[in-house]
Amino acid sequence: MTWNKILCNHKELQLFGTLNGGQSFRWTHHKEEDEWRGVFSKTAWRLKQTDDCLQYQVMGSIIDNPSDSKCKSMLQDYFRLSFNLGTYYHEWSEKDELFKSACQQFYGIRMLCQDPVENLFSFICSQNNHISRISSMVDKLCEHYGEKICFFDDYVYYSFPDVEKLAKPEVEAKLRELGFGYRAKFIQKSAAQIVEWGGKEWFKGLQDMKYKDARQELMKLFGIGPKVADCICLMSLNHLEAVPVDTHVYQIAAQNYLPHLRGKKNVTEKMYIEIGDYFRNMYGDLAGWAHTVLFCADLKKFQKKENDDCDAPKQKKKRKK
């Protein structure tokens, strides 16, 4: 199968940091082939890169016969390749010495443009959880409620389920059976709310709102707090000033920018807003993107990338037809 190409310097897109940094949980690195395999837009992809281009193949798709131009457009949108990242990195480095240091290794970190339904329910799974278990839960959602896309290299790829399927009353009990715990109720209840409010059209309305208004609307969903709401705003709704604040981001802020916050046991609502506003004042309209680079630099799994086997998600176990 031929590899298609999109011209893109590796300094403008780093697949490792972008696909392995906790934005999406549907990508797996295959070391022997030095490629990434994953799913977005109901299409299963193989990706790899050289110094000057992004290479891709479509393993399968529910979309009827996606043309090469359509696939290229999908990838350009997904990685937001219309943004000249080098320009922004230069601007952020001028404003912040910590960023200037971090970006030497964490160049080309892209803010993925994800489907809001998949993004929201993936981050419900992320609450009080670690990445391998989050990935497992997302896989279960897809396997039980998504559509089969294709069978490739002894593995079945599924699309992320439509919100209507997750809204059915019996979903909560099934997800509890599958090990989702309290998140099962959050998923079913919030899915039902989204369907009641208009489904995907409701999400489109959030894109047209101001950031803080969209965030407030998201927090009306069952089980959605400030951090998950900010993740959705940032990664799916084009509100790139949104700054999700978790323990990593709190530590970064307290140690490097806001020393009066050091030693706090919990991130209060007031602290959450203060940290987000600080980054927005420093970085501007793309504060959430800039903070993501610092977030990647802070993750322990990236600290020994060159020497450790933990530098990417473990390959998923092969699944029979």
Catalytic residue numbers read 227
CB within 8 A of 111, min separation 6: which ones? 23, 80, 234, 235, 240, 288, 289, 292
In contact, 202 and 239? CB cutoff 8 Å: no
DSSP 100-153: HHHTTTSTT-------HHHHHHHHHHTTT--HHHHHHHHHHHHHHHS-EEEEET
DSSP 188-215: HHHHHHHHHHTTHHHHHHHHHS-HHHHH
Residue 302's closest CA among 131, 181, 166?
A: 131
Secondary structure of residue 296 in the 3-state scheme: helix
CB-based burial, 18-39: b 16+ in 10 Å, e otherwise: bbbbbbbbbbbbeeeeebbbbb
Report how far residue 232's alpha carbon sits from residue 308's, in angstroms, rounded to the nearest whole number. Answer: 31
CB within 8 A of 28, min separation 6: which ones? 36, 37, 38, 312, 313, 314, 315, 316
